[in-house]
Amino acid sequence: MATVLDDINAGVREDMESRKRLVSLAELQERTQAVAPARDAWHALGGTATVRDQLKVIAEIKRRSPSKGDLASIADPAALARQYAGGGAAVISVLTEQRRFHGALADLDAVRAAVDIPLLRKDFTVDEYQIWEARAHGADLVLLIVASLSDAQLVEFSALSHELGMNVLVETHTEAEIERAVAAQARIIGVNVRNLKTLDVDRSVFAALAGQIPGNAIVVAESGVRDAADVTHYAAHGANAVLVGEALVSHATPLQRIAEFTAAGAAAIAARG
Q: Which residues are catalytic?
A: 60, 62, 122, 171, 192, 222-223
Rounded Cα distance, 268 and 228, in Å: 11
Compute the CA torsion angle 248, 46, 193, 237 (nearest 10 deg): -110
Rounded Cα distance, 30 and 42, in Å: 26
Q: Could you tell me where the DSSP H helices lie in the chain?
A: 4-22, 25-31, 41-44, 77-87, 105-114, 128-136, 151-163, 175-183, 205-210, 228-236, 246-249, 254-272
**211-225 in b/e burial notation, b at 16+ Cβ within 10 A?**
ebbeeebbbbbbbbb
Neighbours of 86 (CB within 10 A): 13
Rounded Cα distance, 51 and 219, in Å: 14
Q: Up-side HSE of residue 131: CA atoms within 13 Å toward CB?
A: 22
